[in-house]
Structure 1
Amino acid sequence: MQQLTPQGQAIVNDLAARHGFSTDAVTHMMFAVLNGNGSQAQFSHGEFGGSGQWMLGGMIMLGDMFNNYLKGRVDSLCSEISNILANQPGLLRSGSFQSQSQSGGGYQHQANGAGMGASSLFVPDPEDNWWPQDLGSPNATGAQNNVRYAYFANARRLAVKTGGEVWVYDTLDHNIGGFSQQQGYGSDIVFGSQYGTVILSSLPLVSRNGQHVNQPVSPPPSAAPAPAAAPMPAASGNSDDIFATIERLADLQSKGVISAEEFATKKSELLSRL
C-alpha cells in the first residue's frame, strides 16, 4: 500500500487544519484524487458524508446529498489537492492510452501514458516498476482485472504481468492504442493497432520472467502470407459420385471455403465427364 513521505504528511496536516477535516479524512482524499489522476476522485469516508464522487470543474456527489455546505468544503479540499498533485513533476499521467473490457460488466479503464515517476509526496511502490528495467520508461501503462500492461513504443516491446509472471512480447510494427479483456482472462487479451484488433498471443514472445524465449518471429499483419487454397473434393466417373461431389462443392461455396468462380469451374469440369 502506498504511503506518504514526511513532506506529504506535512501537507496533509496543513490541509486538515485549514479545511476542518481530520488528517485521516484528508489522507483518504489525497489518495482518492491521486487515483483519479488529479481530475476526479471516488471516496468513502464518514467526514465526507459517506460514499461520493468528485470531478474537477465543480461536479460533486455526496451520500449526504442535500448538505450543500459540506459539498462546498469537499470541493474546496479536492480542488486544492488536485492543484498540489499537478505541481509534482512526473506524478500525474499525461497522453492517452485506453484499456477496456468489451463484454461482461462494461468495466472501462483508461490509463494515461508517460510520466509515472516518483513524487516527493509519496513513498515509491516497488510494484509500480514491475517490468524489466532494461526496457526503460514505458510510453503507457494500464491495468485491468489481474492483468497489468506496459507498452514501450521505441523498443517495440509490450510487457504483461499476470499470475505473478511477467511476459514480454515483440510488438513488431504495431502502433498499440488500447487493450481489451473480453472475458477477463489472460488468454482473451486483444489489442488495437493500425491493423485493427489483434490477439496478443499472435505476437512473438521474447521473454518470460527475465528468461529469453526462443520463438520464430511472425510476419506483421501487413506481410501475412495468403491463405492456402482449399482442397477440392475428388470424384470418380460415376454419375452419382459426380452429382454428390457437386453438392459438396456447393456446400463449400455456401460456407465461403471456395469462391463462386472456383465452384463454377469445378462444376463444369465434373459435368463434362457425364
Structure 2
Amino acid sequence: MNTIFTDASFQNMINVANRYGISANAVTDLTQGLMRSGGTMAQFNISELGGGGQWMLGGMTMVGDMFNNGLKATVDNLCMELSNLINQGGIQYKPLPKVQNQNGFMSGNAGNWWGDLGFPNSTGSQNNTSYAIFSNIHRLAIQENGKVTIFDTLDHQIGGTGQQQSGTYSVSFTSQYGNVDLNQLPIISGGNNKQNPVNNTKIQSVLQNQPEQIIQAPIPVATNNTSAFEEDIFTKIEKIAGLKDKGILTEQEFENKKADLLSRL
C-alpha cells in the first residue's frame, strides 16, 4: 500500500533527522517500521544506523555493529523519540482520498473495508480474518465472514498478533499489558451491535427510569497461587510506571491503570 505522511508529520521527521545528524530518508524508513507496530518496535536495514538492526520499546536494541554502544544509544533515543511522536499524533499518514465506486458510495479505495478510519498503522489477515490497527485514534477493525467490527483499544498499544486458540476471533493481539481480551474492549460499531453487559444494564436502567442494578464481581477465592498473582500485579505496575517515566503514559493514565490493577488484589 502507498503510505504518505502528512506535511506536518514529514516536517517533524526532518526536525528529528537534523537533531541526530542523519538523512530524512533514514528517519522516514525507520518511522515506517515503527508505524507498523504502533510505535512499539521496528526492524530496519539502514546503512546510516549500522545496517540491519532491531528496536523494541522497553527492550533490547540491536545494531549491526554490536559493540558500538554509542550507535546503540543513538538508535534507542531516535526510536524512542519517534515512538513518542507516533503515540502523540505528531506523525500520521494522510487520509485516503475519497472516491465514488460503481454503487455511488464514497470510500477510500476498493480495498478499504474498514470504512473512514483513515490509514492504518498495521494490517494483516489470519485464518480468513482481516484486521487493521489504528494506533493514533485508538481503534481496531476486524473483518470476519464479511462482517466488520470496530473496537476502541483504550490505552492499549497493540504491537503483536498471533493465532487465537479459542474465543470469538481466530486472531489474537498483544499490547504493553500482555494479551488483549477483545471481550473487554468497547465496541464502536458492528459486532451485531453487541455491547458490554454492564453497559447494557446501565442503558436499560436509564430507559426504564429505574435504579441501576449494582453488579458485584465474585469475591476471589484464595488459592496457593495468590502470592504469584499479587507479584504479577506489582510487576505490571512497575512496567506501566516505566511507560509513564518515558512519557508514553500520562500521569492520569498511569494512576487510572494502577488503581485498576490494585483493585484486583
Q: Which category describes the TM-score, using the shorter chain as reference length? A: 0.3 to 0.5
**What's the TM-score once normalised by structure 1's chain length?**
0.41
**What's the TM-score once normalised by structure 2's chain length?**
0.42
Highest Rg: 1 or 2?
1
